[in-house]
């Protein structure tokens, strides 16, 4: 009978290594920090070089240089103090853009036709160009032409339409300081306190109005000078002090006067003219 060999003596016991500590539970990542800098297109608009939409088009063409380097990527952010330069081709393109002044009649709307009422741009045709204007009408002057501000359907006077984003921003940007002057025929009784409120102290849509300049032009007509353009602002202001507007005409925007431009006709903004 075979004998089993004697069992070998037990060897030293191996020490088990402690398991590594579990990693800490992943914490919720902090929200992304806001991107640094300012969008190049916004900065170009703020500096009055062009509109934001136009800036994007110029950037895509590679016609914008930042600190001497061409930029062609949309959405790029830059420091607020960078040097921005436009390619000469961009300057030439801007110089070809036109701005048109229309003496808008009652019954025309400022933008798109609505409720059967024609748009003021429909007046921009060769036979309604004011006599003596040195420029010749071209069909390309209608491309991208848009109103730079509103004038109510039942108001007359100076309406600006432009292809130039720089001018549009001057006139309708949130920070515009361009004054607009109106002659307003009214019915009703205006007290001294009411006249003071027209100058400063009224609110529309729970927002205070900027100070205005309002004074009597004659016994039934007021002269308004405003630096903002809320919807139907003058008519609503007059209602708040007990007046009814029966006629409203815009006669000036900035330094540009309506002058003797005939009703229903238009002219080009002249070289050297500016708002």
Catalytic residue ranges? 152
Which residues, including other chains, have CB under 8 Å from residue 203's CB and lie 6 or more apart?
A: 209
Read off the tokens for 200: 């400063």
Strand partners, 147: 161
Residue in this structure with the two tokens 């309406």, named with its chain if needed: 159
From the list 256, 230, 39, 251, the residue with the least C-alpha distance to 167 is 256
Q: Which helix (H) or strand (E) holds 40?
A: helix 40-46
- Using left for φ > 0, alpha for ψ between -120 and 50, and beta otherwise, residue 40 falls in alpha
CA dihedral 179, 247, 101, 86 (to 10 degrees): 30
Crossing angle, helix 233-240 and helix 192-199, to 10 degrees? Answer: 150
From the list 241, 250, 116, 239, the residue with the least C-alpha distance to 171 is 250
Compute how many other C-beta atoms are within 10 angstroms of the C-beta atom of residue 168: 22
Read off the tokens for 99: 């701005």
Q: Map residue 267 onto helix, strand or coil.
A: strand
Terminal alpha carbon distance of the chain: 123
Instruction: For 217, list phi and psi in degrees, rounded to 5.
Output: -90, -40
Read off the tokens for 158: 């100076």
Residue in this structure with the two tokens 């600006």, named with its chain if needed: 160
């Amino acid at each position: 009978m075979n004998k089993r060999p004697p069992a070998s003596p037990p060897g030293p016991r191996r020490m088990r290594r402690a398991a590594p500590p579990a990693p800490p539970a992943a914490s919720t990542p902090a929200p992304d920090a806001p991107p640094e800098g300012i969008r190049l297109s916004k900065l170009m608009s703020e500096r009055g070089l062009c509109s934001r939409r136009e800036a994007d088009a110029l950037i895509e063409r590679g016609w914008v240089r930042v600190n001497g380097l061409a930029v062609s990527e949309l959405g790029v952010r830059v420091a607020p103090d960078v040097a921005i330069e436009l390619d000469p081709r961009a300057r030439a393109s801007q110089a070809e853009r036109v701005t048109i002044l229309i003496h808008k009649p009652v019954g025309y709307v400022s933008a798109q036709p609505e409720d059967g009422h024609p748009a003021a741009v429909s007046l921009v045709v060769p036979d309604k160009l004011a006599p003596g204007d040195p420029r010749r009408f071209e069909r390309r002057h209608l491309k991208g032409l848009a109103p730079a501000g509103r004038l109510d359907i039942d108001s007359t006077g100076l309406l600006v339409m432009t292809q130039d984003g720089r001018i549009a921003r001057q006139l309708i940007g949130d920070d515009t300081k361009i004054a607009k002057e109106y002659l307003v025929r009214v019915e009703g009784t205006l007290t001294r306190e009411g006249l003071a409120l027209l100058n400063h102290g009224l609110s529309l849509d729970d927002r205070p109005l900027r100070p205005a300049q309002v004074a009597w032009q004659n016994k039934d007509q007021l002269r308004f000078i405003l630096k903002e353009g809320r919807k139907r602002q003058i008519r609503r202001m007059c209602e708040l002090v007990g007046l009814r507007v029966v006629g409203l005409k815009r006669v000036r925007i900035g330094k540009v006067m309506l002058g003797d431009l005939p009703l229903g006709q238009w002219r080009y903004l002249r070289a050297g003219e500016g708002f």
